[in-house]
Structure 1
Amino acid sequence: MSSEATAAIAAASSQTGNQVIDEKFAGSMCFVVTLMRALESAREDRIVSDPFAEPLTRKARPTLMPVLESWAKKEQHPSSFMALRTRYLDEALDQRDPNIRQIVLLGAGLDARAYRLESLRGAHVLEIDQSDRIFAHKQQVMDELEAPLIAAKHDCIVADLLEASWEKKLLDSGFDPTIPTFWAMEGLLMYLDRESNITLLQTIDSLSASGSALWADMSGEVMLKQAELKLLKAVDSLKDAEARQGLLSHGEDD
């Protein structure tokens, strides 16, 4: 993260509001994941440094901290997986082919890499998420912080990845299919069924120029049953039937 971003956060940290946002909105899984990044970033032995995670989740913290604290009593170091996943993608972006200057984050949520990763300087970062409220909240917080953008260009696209229209929306936002792209699907695939995953990957393939790269993760069945699924139920992000149909239909062997 740049020194300019650190200074901006320090200067504006007392300006962001402390009101509690509504529970349904706060219960979105991206708030839970971002709060975990905030907790990890506050550790002295942290492996991830995301100074934007705390202000992005400040209003949701009163709603979500009791859930995380309860989960922590049952699971040892519950935020470790999220920290490792974040670090893994951070390093993948840092170490990508320097010729790749177009980055697409699918299911971006409250991702702030366009503001904190120095390796994205000069890049065009396009984020896709189905929630306009998530993007509006993120932009409001960044505006309040007067956070400097590291990426040369940053576009947030509201689109449902299960609908064919997301491809057109991406192209209309300045995506160039003739140059290499780094595609990132962090914490996304496990929420989609097999057919939707295949369709999504086929679309990405059709949009990818030679030299493109793809990063994705898939939670294993054991992890979902023993840890993350419990948290999903706790924040009421998914109904049990949806969890059985989607989350547990994939794993290490799929």
Structure 2
Amino acid sequence: MSAVSKTALAVARVRAHESAAGNALFDDPYAAAFLAAAGEQMRKPTSPGPLATALRFQTVIRTRFYDDELIRSGHAQVVLLAAGLDTRAYRLPWPSGTRLYELDLPPVLEFKHGVLAAQSAAPRCDRTAVAADLLRPTWADRLVDAGFDATRPTAWLVEGLLVYLTAEEAATLLTTVGDLSAPGSRLALERGRSGRTRLDDPSVAHITALWKGGLGAGTADWLDAHGWRSEAHPLDTVAACYGRPMGNPSGTGFITAVRTSR
């Protein structure tokens, strides 16, 4: 897998630890299996830096927030872009008739399928995996060829992806999402970080070195100017709603958006 794809293992480790903790915000019964299959260990870093701690916290909160957002959308067509080692198709209580598409690079999907097959995992919805490179325009054609219906409202999730793209790449990707989205479609993604974020944390340098910034703090403004109506969800507000109050607001968080026009 590519360096960016391998960051999915770090996210799986966070989900595994949260699932094993008391009073967990979610349960991912397959996260630990991904780590074992990759030869990774479950133990937490002994001395994580401040950014590593903040990223783990945000990952836990965003997992639960996106879980709730996807189910709350009520849409029977769901697309997870850069799905990585996401197991929502297998662990969420999807309404009958839900059709879910997962897009990612072939090595990621092959690894994922092997682990889930070994666990005898069965999806709780109609799941379709689509091997595609999201930096190539052909990903939209592959999605449509797999059965995606652009005339139906869709719940889109772009989790943890845009920060690894340039502003141009992020805009191109979201433009394609908009072209595929019928009015009423919903989109969930992270609110971009500002340029003031300190990245000098050696414990996660292998991850932050891959960041290109995406659309940064202007993500919501871009969406509002391109046929979406966005709403910001600050991390500290969301975390408090889940009983995980933060000591200091971080300025990060999430965005949900509703498609208003093509």
Q: Structure 1 length normalisation: TM-score?
A: 0.75
The structure that is helix-richer by fraction is 1
Q: Is the alpha carbon distance of 1:200 and 1:36 closer, same or farther for their aligned partners in structure 2, counting shifts above 3 Å? A: same
Q: Is the alpha carbon distance of 1:193 and 1:201 closer, same or farther for their aligned partners in structure 2, counting shifts above 3 Å? A: same
* 3-state SS of paired residue (1:62): coil
- Cα-Cα RMSD: 2.9
Residue aligning to 2:131: 158
Structure 1 stretches of 4+ with a deviation exceeding 4 A read 24-27, 63-66, 72-78, 229-232
- In 1: Cα distance, 2:51 partner to 2:171 partner: 35
Equivalent residues of 2:171, 2:215 under 8 A apart: no
Equivalent residues of 1:109, 1:134 under 8 A apart: yes
- In 1: Cα distance, 2:203 partner to 2:129 partner: 28
Which amino acid counterpart does residue 60 of structure 1 have in structure 2? Answer: A
Q: 185, 189, 193: which one pairs with 1:212? A: 185
Residue aligning to 1:71: 48
Say whether residues 1:113 and 2:88 are aligned partners: yes
Residue aligning to 1:62: 40
- In 1: Cα distance, 2:5 partner to 2:168 partner: 27
Residue aligning to 1:90: 67
- In 2: Cα distance, 1:90 partner to 1:117 partner: 7
Residue aligning to 2:104: 129
Q: Is the alpha carbon distance of 1:78 and 1:198 closer, same or farther for their aligned partners in structure 2, counting shifts above 3 Å? A: closer
* 3-state SS of paired residue (1:48): coil
Residue aligning to 2:119: 145
Equivalent residues of 1:190, 1:218 under 8 A apart: no
* 3-state SS of paired residue (2:78): strand
Q: Is the alpha carbon distance of 1:37 and 1:121 closer, same or farther for their aligned partners in structure 2, counting shifts above 3 Å? A: farther
Equivalent residues of 2:35, 2:42 under 8 A apart: no
- In 2: Cα distance, 1:213 partner to 1:74 partner: 30
Residue aligning to 2:172: 199
Residue aligning to 2:10: 32
- In 2: Cα distance, 1:120 partner to 1:53 partner: 23
Equivalent residues of 2:52, 2:203 under 8 A apart: no
Instruction: Mark the runs of 5 or more structure 1 residues left unpaired by the alignment.
Output: 1-21
Equivalent residues of 2:156, 2:187 under 8 A apart: yes
| Residue correspondences, number | 219
Equivalent residues of 2:192, 2:218 under 8 A apart: no
Residue aligning to 1:17: none
* 3-state SS of paired residue (2:198): helix
Residue aligning to 2:22: 44
Q: Is the alpha carbon distance of 1:61 and 1:48 closer, same or farther for their aligned partners in structure 2, counting shifts above 3 Å? A: farther
Q: Offset at 1:115?
A: 0.5
Q: Percent identity at matched positions?
A: 31
The structure that is strand-richer by fraction is 2
Equivalent residues of 2:18, 2:60 under 8 A apart: yes
Equivalent residues of 1:122, 1:150 under 8 A apart: no
Which amino acid counterpart does residue 85 of structure 1 have in structure 2? Answer: R
Q: Which moved more, 1:137-146 or 1:101-110?
A: 137-146
- In 2: Cα distance, 1:194 partner to 1:77 partner: 24
Q: Is the alpha carbon distance of 1:47 and 1:61 closer, same or farther for their aligned partners in structure 2, counting shifts above 3 Å? A: farther
Which amino acid counterpart does residue 102 of structure 2 have in structure 1? Answer: E
Say whether residues 1:80 and 2:53 are aligned partners: no
Q: Is the alpha carbon distance of 1:253 and 1:170 closer, same or farther for their aligned partners in structure 2, counting shifts above 3 Å? A: closer
Q: Offset at 1:197?
A: 1.3
- In 1: Cα distance, 2:195 partner to 2:167 partner: 18
Q: Is the alpha carbon distance of 1:225 and 1:63 closer, same or farther for their aligned partners in structure 2, counting shifts above 3 Å? A: farther
Q: Which moved more, 1:46-55 or 1:85-94?
A: 46-55
- In 1: Cα distance, 2:198 partner to 2:88 partner: 30
Alignment of 1:171-250 (within 5 A): 171-221=144-194, 225-226=198-199, 230-233=202-205, 236-237=206-207, 240=209, 243=211, 246-247=212-213, 250=215
Q: Structure 2 length normalisation: TM-score?
A: 0.73
- In 2: Cα distance, 1:147 partner to 1:52 partner: 8
